[in-house]
Structure 1
Amino acid sequence: MSATATAATIPPTRPASSRPASVAAAPRAAAGLALTERVAGQEQLLPAPLLGLLVSLHRAIEPERRARLAARRERQAAFDAGALPDFRADTVAIREANWKVAPIPRALQDRRVEITGPTDPKMVINALNSGAQCYMADFEDSTAPTWRNLLAGQRALAAAVDGTLTFEADNGKQYRLRPYEERAVLIVRPRGWHLDEKHVRIDGEAIAGGLFDMAVFAWHNARTLMANDRGPFFYLPKLQSMEEAALWEAALSHVEAMLGLPHGQMKVTVLIETLPAVFEMDEILHALKDRIVGLNCGRWDYIFSYLKTFRAHADKVLPERGQVTMTQPFLRAYSELLIRTCHRRGAHAMGGMAAQIPIAGDEAANEQAMARVRADKLREVTAGHDGTWVAHPALIPVARAIFDAHMPTPHQHHVLREDVHATRDDLIRPSEGTITREGFENNIEVCVRYMAAWLDGNGCVPIHWLMEDAATAEIARAQLWQWLHHSDPRGRHADGSPVHLADGTVIDFALFERALAALPGRLGDTAALPGGSRIPEAIALLDELTRACQLVEFLTLPAYARID
């Protein structure tokens, strides 16, 4: 548990009177369930009725989750064999029909600026007090899923919903929540379908991490949030198909029934952050139409998904990640098609993340960074997006000024973007650019420093004035694999030439080994870095992942076995 979590004042659980009235009808026994880890206060946070709900939910959803993950593997095998993603022929009727999603709740009408981050108490207080319209509390890409982190995050959010969360820093500074009406609207992001929660085993199987995150949060907070017209609200990550969206619909409906909530009470926004999903946006909206309020351009995971989808395609090698910006044609087509699709269906089209953080002590560099943020947000709002993301509170007024100047209404559903006609080829055409030595070495540094921090329990790390999380680290990791394996004799560019740096140096494993060996010297004293003691372990893990004959699906899968 982080120091911030231990210093927080967090009630162990919510008073019984604030739980859904019908929760007593949920199974009180949890036969078949085993918890493999123990932390203080666990019994209060995970009482028997909640464990019974988890058992019921797992048994209802797990068989189809396994089927969906198998379908992902089959689809990726087809891509590896040369197939290309495309719009589905069997769902033309959904795309062509005129239908709308359910009305959007008042609390989510205006989402012009959202802040995201992990769920430690200090972050929760600062984010809710930040002045943003919404705060996405993230159990996924910015949280390392140690058992302590997960339970501390659930306690912090429950106390925040109650309005009782406080925090005392090591220097004695006190943090308290602002009055209810001044706080950002809370939206929780559970983990994706691919991630297990290994500490909760039901019938000998690990429960899905996302089901655990969603159900625990809803069990503790649904009634209070519903009474205040605040949800519960969720962000759903890394979906690849309408069937995966339908599985979330089944899971959310199951929990609503168990807790006595009206159908559709729990609202969701879906992140379009995989390449296959961009071809099924209408279908995903339709599968969740009773509860979905929008789609979000999860740009960093989307770039990672592009790399992963085309891992075997030598003609889809991308330049260094700093050059793969939203102005590149394939990313612009993705964001504009998302706007057109959402607004046709009465849903929000949310923009992407500004990962910059203020650069202290260098006014000129800081102004250049803020200028990039302003240009990015201006692109989003003038294209028709209804809101945007930032990673740091200091960027909220920057983003808000742009959206206020160009979006006087709560959203832009009236901007239909009927001029957008994104084809399959528009959405998969790779961007052009170069790979500099600095970009190559920066990818190695980001991977190692992020993985070391993650292994040490920290899932959100500032590196070179950017807030890095699992998504940005995945881009760096996947690019290293792609560049190296398409320079190796097993794979080359479409014209037969190896991948090389801008100075002509061929990118090969000898270059990688030299850069990896030189990294500790470049980092200097690692004691002050997040997870500094685990730098050697992270170097070994990156070496293993990069040398693998096939790109590993997610770095968090092998890394998860190394925590707790």
Structure 2
Amino acid sequence: MSAAAHALPADPVQRPTPGIALTTVLAGQAALLPPAALALLVSLHREIEPERQARLAARRDRQRYFDAGGLPDFRDDTRSIRESDWKVAPLPAALQDRRVEITGPVDPKMVINALNSGAKVFMADFEDSTAPTWHNLLTGQRALMEAVRGDLAFVADNGKRYQLKPFAEQAVLLVRPRGWHLDEKHVLIDGQPIAGGLFDLAVFAFHNARALADKDRGPYFYLPKLQSMEEAALWETALSHIEATLGLPHGQMKVTVLIETLPAVFEMHEILHALRERIVGLNCGRWDYIFSYLKTFRRHADKVLPERGQVTMTQPFLKAYSELLIQTCHRRGAHAMGGMAAQIPINNDEAANEQALARVRADKLREVSAGHDGTWVAHPALIPIARAIFDEHMPQPNQHAVLREDVHVGRDELIAPSQGTITRAGFEGNVEVCVRYLAAWLDGNGCVPIHWLMEDAATAEISRTQIWQWLHTAGLHLADGTAIDLALLETTLRNLPAKLGNRDAIPGASKIDEAIALLDELSRSDELAEFLTLPAYDRID
């Protein structure tokens, strides 16, 4: 089916479902949101929403504590969970070997290419790499539903046809819903927007859970941006509710949790415990983790990080985080997944391409040598590279036997800032990445190649938060001595359009001016916006 023909037929007239209102109507959505699915959304929202709001309020309270000088630490009230012996439930056969995973948005072409890519797992992402327009969400749900059925196909504008390989040759499908902080404004229940993540997860499960269970393929999910065991427990409540409603056995739906916030690294045992009947692993979500470090310590002048390119996984605080994650997971019988290689092939520069691939090889060798059970890539061309390294150093399906008892990590190791500089190129690069990504996102594209790196919301958040922190921390200078102040920001933003050159070749070109204005507004504000996508969400659809 072509992109133009990918809409479903006109919807039949439906009687309204009590308690729910859809603020936007697109052709074909009734097939994706029939009355039974809407009823599931209503019951799920009513059970989860009060506690979700309580958890979000707890996040704000905790951030005020950090802003006043407080530091994150391990919890005294959960010491018994960390110190006692227990294991997570046995892992399903389809997820025993996850050595290479590819991630990307949920458009039909991406879904086909990723499932056909040769990776062990494809994480279909409704979160950081999907701009949540109503069209994108419904198109993504439909693409995944057709993929599970085995009949997804796509014809590009140039006539090239994409179709799925046989099921046995496909990657295992995992779906990442949005995090607790994001609303779905197109679905109002009792006058309130439903949590975006609940919408993503419940609609996917409604259509696909039974078929995937019959194939011994889950359904499986990645859960993002948790900050506490209570937030993990709330996901457990939601998953159990969906299973009961759909008539699935308890624990049928399996999850992997991304440890991509600084508060969560202090509660990894507790998060595993809260989801112990269904969790299969934790993942080092490195980009969001760096963003969370910046946000947590936004008012701490002694913890300002250098420019993004210098904050690598060999920095002590990131090395401590990844090794503690491995130790924690393997003690509990769970996978410890490595992080993302965001590089994409540089087709017109062989030397630069080889340098980029050398960085990928070094990163994947570091991960497998440390004891990770698998890793992420953003581009199919990196799959053979990552797989070769893991095949050589991990011939078995995983490394659960690598207990890393040599790792001794405390609070101070996890929060120690990295050393480095802020160059003019680093400052201007942050501005460019943030503006270009934000422009694409506002135009409906949540995953954008910029300077041979695949940028998503997480990497844009690093850029945006660093700009804000550098501007709002007194006395900071670039490496050449230039003061980091609003005058520097104004000059950089004013010069950016000329630097970008031919706008027509840039995704979201029509939104560049709007993105510049929004970044300027957010950077000048006395308060750091919690997430870039929250004010941006008001500007789409």
| TM over 0.5, shorter chain | yes
Check conservation: 1:11, 1:155, Cα contact below 8 A: no
Between the aligned partners of 2:197 and 2:3, the Cα distance in structure 1 is: 22
Query: Which residue, 132, 138, 153 being the options, matches 2:119?
Result: 132
Q: How does 1:226-265 map to 2 (within 5 A)?
A: 226-265=213-252
- CA deviation after TM superposition for structure 1 residue 75, in Å: 0.2
CA spacing shift, 1:7–1:378, aligned 2, 3 Å: farther
- Given candidates 260, 277, 284, the residue that maps to 1:297 is 284
Per-residue deviation, residues 369-417 of structure 1 (Å, max 9, x unmatched): 0000000000000000000000000000000010000001000000000
In the alignment, does 2:305 pair up with 1:310? no
User: 1:257: how far off?
Assistant: 0.1
- Which residue number corresponds to residue 324 of structure 2? 337
Whether 1:321 aligns to 2:308 is yes
Structure-1 residue corresponding to 2:497 = 520
Q: In the alignment, residue 453 of structure 1 is paired with which amino acid? A: A
Query: Residues 273 and 5 of structure 1: is their aligned pair in 2 closer, same or farther, counting only changes over 3 Å?
Result: farther
Residue of structure 2 equivalent to 1:561: 538
Contact 1:10 1:164 in 2 (8 A): no
Encode CA deviations 1:261-316: one digit per residue, 9 max, x unaligned: 00000000000000000000000000000000000000000000000000010001
Whether 1:54 aligns to 2:41 is yes
- Out of 485, 489, 497, the residue aligned to residue 508 of structure 1 is 485
Q: What is the total number of aligned residue pairs between the two structures?
A: 538
Could you tell me how far 1:32 is from its partner in structure 2? 1.1
State the alpha-carbon separation in 1 of the partners of residues 528 and 89 from structure 2.
Answer: 39
1:437 alignment partner AA:
R
Amino acid at match of 2:426: G
The answer as to whether partners of 2:24 and 2:186 remain within 8 angstroms in 1 is yes
Label 1:526 to 1:192 Cα distance change in 2 as closer, same or farther (>3 A): same
Kept in 1, the 8 Å contact 2:476–2:484? The answer is yes
1:218 corresponds in structure 2 to 205
Offset of residue 11 of structure 1 = 9.6
> How far apart are residue 6 of structure 1 and its match?
3.5
Matched, 1:95 2:52: no
SS in structure 2 of the partner of residue 89 of structure 1: coil
Question: What displacement does 1:517 show?
Answer: 0.3
Normalization by structure 1: what TM-score? 0.94
1:180-199 mapped onto 2 (5 Å cutoff): 180-199=167-186
Maintained 8 Å contact 2:3/2:156 = no
Deviations, residues 99-157 of structure 1 (Å, cap 9, x unaligned): 00000000000000000000000000000000000000000000000000000000000
Q: Report if aligned partners of 1:7, 1:168 keep a CA contact under 8 Å in 2.
A: no
| Offset at residue 5 of structure 1 (A) | 4.3
Alpha-carbon distance in 1 for matches of 2:95, 2:25: 37
Q: Distance in 2 between matches of 1:279 and 1:267?
A: 23
* Aligned mates of 2:276, 2:188 — CA distance in 1: 32
Partner of 2:56: 69
- The answer as to 2:4 corresponding to 1:6 is yes
Provide the C-alpha distance between the structure 2 equivalents of 1:135 and 1:9, rounded to a whole number of angstroms: 24
3-state DSSP class of the match of 1:143? coil
Normalised by the size of structure 2, how large is the TM-score? 0.98
Partner of residue 96 from structure 2, selected from 97, 102, 109? 109
How far has the Cα of 1:30 moved from its partner?
Answer: 2.5
Q: In the TM superposition, what is the alpha-carbon distance from 1:10 to its structure 2 partner?
A: 7.6
Runs of 4+ in 1 over 4 A off after TM superposition: 7-13
Aligned match of 2:511 in 534, 542, 558?
534
What letter corresponds to residue 505 of structure 2 in structure 1? A
Match of 2:351 in 1: 364
Partner residue, 2:450: 463
Alpha-carbon separation, structure 1, partners of 2:307 and 2:247: 50
Higher mean C-alpha deviation, range 28-37 or range 468-477? 28-37
Does the 8 Å contact 1:42/1:151 carry over to 2? yes
Pick from 150, 166, 173: which aligns with 1:163?
150
Matches within 5 A, 1:80-91: 80-91=67-78
- 1:549 matched to 2:526? The reply is yes
Mapped partners of 1:6, 1:228: distance in 2: 32
Tell me the amino acid that sits aligned with residue 304 of structure 1.
F
Match of 2:190 in 1: 203
Q: Is the 8 A contact 1:12 1:41 kept in 2?
A: yes
In 2: Cα distance, 1:183 partner to 1:542 partner: 40
Matched, 1:446 2:444: no
For the residue of structure 1 that corresponds to 2:66, the secondary structure is helix
Aligned AA (1:477) = R
**Counterparts of 1:536 and 1:246 in 2: how far apart (Å)?**
42
SS at match of 2:78: helix
Alignment RMSD, CA only? 1.3
Matched, 1:348 2:335: yes
CA separation in 2, counterparts of 1:547 and 1:476? 15
Q: Which runs of 5+ in 1 are unaligned?
A: 14-27, 487-491, 493-497
SS in 2 for 1:199: strand
CA distance in 1, matches of 2:17, 2:341: 43
Deviations 1:318-363 (A, max 9, x none): 0000000000000000000000000000000000000000001100
Q: Which secondary structure does the structure 1 equivalent of 2:395 belong to?
A: coil
Secondary structure of 1:114's counterpart equals strand
Alpha-carbon distance between aligned partners in 1 of 2:352 and 2:51, rounded to the nearest angstrom: 50
1:144 corresponds to 2:131: yes
Deviation of 1:506 (Å) = 1.2
Matching residue's letter, 1:552 = A
Q: Percent identity?
A: 78
Deviations 1:8-51 (A, max 9, x none): 598999xxxxxxxxxxxxxx972110000011101111000110
Q: CA–CA distance in 2 between the matches of 1:306 and 1:11?
A: 47
SS in 2 for 1:235: strand
Map of 1:17 onto structure 2? none
Is 1:386–1:412's contact at 8 Å kept on the other side of the alignment? yes
Structure 2 contact 280–334 (Cα < 8 Å) conserved: yes
Secondary structure, in 3 states, of the residue corresponding to 2:77? helix
2:419 — aligned with what?
432
- Asked if structure 1 preserves the Cα contact closer than 8 Å seen for 2:7 and 2:28, the reply is no
